[in-house]
Amino acid sequence: MLPQRFAFLSPSPPPALLSPVVTMSLDPAADLPFYYGSVSRAEAERHLKLAGMADGLFLLRRCLRSLGGYVLSAVWSLQFHHYPVEKRLDGTYCLSGGRPHCGPAELCEFYGRDPDGLAGALRKPCRRSPDAAVRAGVFDSLRDNMLREYVKQTWNLEGEAMEQAIISQAPQLEKLIATTAHEKMPWYHGRVARQEAVRRLHSGAQPDGKFLVRDRQESGSFALSMVYGKTVYHYQILLDKSGKHSMPEGTKFDTIWQLVEYLKMKADGLVTHLGEACVNGKAAAKTPSLPGPRRTNGYTAPPQERELLPMDCDGFNPYHNPSEGRRFHIQRSRLLIDEVELGSGNFGCVKKGVLMTESGQIDVAVKVLKNDNETLVREEMLREAEIMHQLSNPFIVRMLGLCHAESLMLVMEMAAAGPLNKYLSSNKDTVTVENIMGLMHQVSMGMKYLEEKNFVHRDLAARNVLLVKKQFAKISDFGLSKALGVDDNYYKARTAGKWPLKWYAPECINFHKFSSKSDVWSFGVTLWEAFTYGGKPYKKMKGPEVMRFIEGGSRMERPAACPETTYGVMRECWTYKHDERPDFRTVEEAMRSHYYSMSSRAEPEGAGESPQ
Ligand code: ADP
Ligand code: MG
């Protein structure tokens, strides 16, 4: 049975560009009707009271102490109970002493069946009123701006490139900034000596509780200095082996900013709770740095150890146009061509090379035409160049220019790790399902861009998705691509050619009609290839057999490694009628939500099996 139409979409509105939803949607509890966000214990109790205090009435709220943790608040025998839910480093969630669960929803479901140490079983969700939004925490509201600032400063990205970076890497960025967010806080003064801290606290008004946080000179941990009765008190903030921060014998926190938020509410051993911040005048100009060595035992790895992100590669930013003179013409003298062949085809071969530009050398791939005299092939290559020249997106291979020399050569940026299907089949053991989701989400972003620009690819397949590196994919091979007219939504081929039939939608084969919707069909097949780690679609079937298979209503089965929800996307991509098939805007939203939820929680059971 076909899954319900668009059932794969999350019930919440899709994360929109430039809205805080981008990061809110990373909260795996965001869609739960009994989730309130960052509300206090007292507020939670007020909600439970208003809802009638029935036995087993419960709600979930954000924990202010642990990164990504929650508190389960419930009622039994007219008594309130609050249980912290910890998010562990492996991404699972558990009550202290309880079993791990892959998400907050699963955890609550479990305790609905089995009290397992609670005062009773959870019975009735205390629902948020429909007009009340999930309360954003201090960090939630800062997070979106912080993300932008962080990406801008760290990778020097702006505009569309910055949006693409944020959307494609939100889960990773979230983790990175969580550990450095304090550096953006007005109360953080960096490396200042104790005497200087006293001077700063004593300048201006000195209400009780006025405070600042500074780095301790030698130990790599932090210190808190605060005013009480005009006297300045200094406290050492402890850092334990697992990277958690606390006051001596106080509650432990994953990050400094969470500890500070907590100490604003509770003194936890201090002379008083924290009050107003002693503002660091320079804080506004500062930007968070990459996590430093201080956190080697903490939540993220230091920069030299952290996993490189796509934005760390040259290929993320547009190159300034290195071609000069004639439109996108590259001088032969600027191009070094290696003998190493990266691939070959009808047209000739693709070789490795280096392009000298004013701003340095760029590794390139050079498509060299085999026989310059054959005008047909030559024209094809010029058409391919014409298309590529109009595209600029981090998830699409960029053309740097054409070089007319010993042969006609198309110079492109290099995607050194090669075609996705080959990469996956030779790295089965090291590529995780989450990694594949990230890559295929990037492909959907690139395809959404093509759809917006009104281009049809016509040859989307795993062999034409190239990897810059393990976590960075680009769509390539625009040999069959077409730019559609402003008023057209499909391209009609006059005659059938050497077509990749197994990737083609029924309307391509039957009516020679190509549109972004037929690219969506190919995306489904590409997804299948990715989740089978480079498997061959439709086994040994020949083209006509595949057509009968599809016409008869059959579709390929779910690959073992593919989560059910993502198989839902695949099946939607294979909707027979193109006008009922989702577009890339919809597909990208679905891929994004699956990728984010996979990255912010443990993989659901059955989704992480590696292939045989
Ligand atoms: P064809 O139309 O023959 O499929 P492609 O553009 O797909 O031509 O290129 C053929 C092969 O050359 C690819 O499968 C890949 O191995 C290699 N190749 C092409 N472009 C690049 C690139 N930008 N970076 C690295 N390898 C590339
Ligand atoms: Mg190809």
Read off the pLDDT of residues 541-573 as tens digits, 9 standing for 90 and up. 998 999 999 999 999 999 999 999 999 999 999
H or E segment and range at residue 531: helix 516-531
Mutate to test the pocket of ligand 1, among 342, 468, 475 (most ligand atoms within 8 A of CB): 342
So what's the pLDDT on residue 16?
A: 32
Two tokens, residue 612: 């045989």
pLDDT exceeds cutoff 60 at 303: no
With a 6 Å cutoff on the Cβ, whether 464 touches ligand 1 is yes
pLDDT tier, 605 (very low <50, low <70, confident <90, very high otherwise): very low
So what's the pLDDT on residue 191?
A: 92
Q: Which of 82, 127, 85, 115 is closest to 103 using CA atoms?
A: 85
Q: Which residues of 251-280 are buried (b: 16+ CB within 10 A; e: fewer)?
A: bbbbbbbbbbbbbbeeebebeebbeebbbb
Q: How many CA atoms lie within 13 A of 117 on its CB side?
A: 9
So what's the pLDDT on residue 573?
A: 98
Distance linking the first and last C-alpha atoms of the chain? 26
Please give the mean pLDDT across all residues of the chain. Answer: 85
Share of the chain above pLDDT 90, in %: 60
With a 6 Å cutoff on the Cβ, whether 414 touches ligand 1 is yes
- The ligand 1 atom at the shortest distance from the C-alpha of residue 412 is 23
Average pLDDT (191-206) is: 95
pLDDT exceeds cutoff 60 at 13: no
pLDDT exceeds cutoff 90 at 501: yes
Ligand (nearest to CA of 384): 1
Does residue 389 or residue 317 have the better pLDDT?
389
pLDDT exceeds cutoff 70 at 292: no
So what's the pLDDT on residue 57?
A: 98
Residue nearest to atom 10 of ligand 1 (CA): 343
pLDDT exceeds cutoff 60 at 30: yes
- The ligand 1 atom at the shortest distance from the C-alpha of residue 464 is 7
Residue 217 in 3-state DSSP?
A: coil
Q: Which residues of 209-232 are buried (b: 16+ CB within 10 A; e: fewer)?
A: bbbbbbbeeeeeebbbbbbbeeeb
With a 6 Å cutoff on the Cβ, whether 421 touches ligand 1 is no
With a 6 Å cutoff on the Cβ, whether 255 touches ligand 1 is no
So what's the pLDDT on residue 323?
A: 55
So what's the pLDDT on residue 220?
A: 73
> What are the pLDDT digits (tens) for 397-420?
999 999 999 899 999 999 999 999
| Cα 463 to ligand 2 centre (Å) | 6
| Cα 374 to ligand 2 centre (Å) | 20
DSSP secondary structure of 4-55: PTTTTS-SSPPPPTTSTHHHHTT-TTTT-TTB-BS--HHHHHHHHHHTT--T
So what's the pLDDT on residue 66?
A: 67
Residue 222 in 3-state DSSP?
A: strand
So what's the pLDDT on residue 304?
A: 46
pLDDT exceeds cutoff 50 at 607: no
So what's the pLDDT on residue 320?
A: 62
The dihedrals phi and psi of 362, each to the nearest 5 degrees, come to -125, 130
Q: How many CA atoms lie within 13 A of 557 on its CB side?
A: 4
The dihedrals phi and psi of 98, each to the nearest 5 degrees, come to -95, 180
With a 6 Å cutoff on the Cβ, whether 166 touches ligand 1 is no
Residue nearest to atom 13 of ligand 1 (CA): 343
Taking the C-alpha atoms of residue 202 and residue 278, their distance in angstroms, rounded to an integer, is 9
Does residue 204 or residue 305 have the better pLDDT?
204
Residues having C-beta closer than 5 Å to ion ligand 2: 464, 477
Decide: residue 478, CB within 10 A, 0-12 exposed, 13-18 middle, 19+ buried.
Answer: buried
477 is catalytic: no
Q: Which of 103, 95, 100, 98 is closest to 73 using CA atoms?
A: 95
pLDDT exceeds cutoff 60 at 108: yes
pLDDT exceeds cutoff 60 at 341: yes
| Cα 222 to ligand 2 centre (Å) | 54
Ligand (nearest to CA of 478): 1
Q: Which of 249-263, 290-304, 509-523 has the lowest mean pLDDT?
A: 290-304
So what's the pLDDT on residue 2?
A: 32
Beta-carbon contacts of residue 50 (< 8 Å; ≥ 6 apart): none
In angstroms and rounded to an integer, the radius of gyration of the C-alpha atoms of the chain is: 28
With a 6 Å cutoff on the Cβ, whether 419 touches ligand 1 is yes
Q: How many CA atoms lie within 13 A of 116 on its CB side?
A: 17
Does residue 325 or residue 254 have the better pLDDT?
254
Dihedral sign, CA of 126, 128, 129, 135? positive
So what's the pLDDT on residue 6?
A: 34
So what's the pLDDT on residue 18?
A: 31
Q: Which of 145-149, 154-158, 269-273, 542-546 has the lowest mean pLDDT?
A: 145-149
Taking the C-alpha atoms of residue 110 and residue 93, their distance in angstroms, rounded to an integer, is 12
| Cα 477 to ligand 1 centre (Å) | 7
pLDDT tier, 327 (very low <50, low <70, confident <90, very high otherwise): low
With a 6 Å cutoff on the Cβ, whether 532 touches ligand 1 is no
Does residue 421 or residue 149 have the better pLDDT?
421
Average pLDDT (484-489) is: 87
With a 6 Å cutoff on the Cβ, whether 442 touches ligand 1 is no
pLDDT tier, 25 (very low <50, low <70, confident <90, very high otherwise): low
**Domains assigned to the chain:** 4-125 (3.30.505.10), 140-178+307-311 (1.10.930), 182-289 (3.30.505.10), 313-413 (3.30.200.20), 418-598 (1.10.510.10)
Which of 27, 254, 459, 477 does the annotation list as catalytic? 459
Average pLDDT (414-432) is: 97
Torsion-angle region of residue 359: left (phi > 0), alpha (psi -120 to 50) or beta? alpha
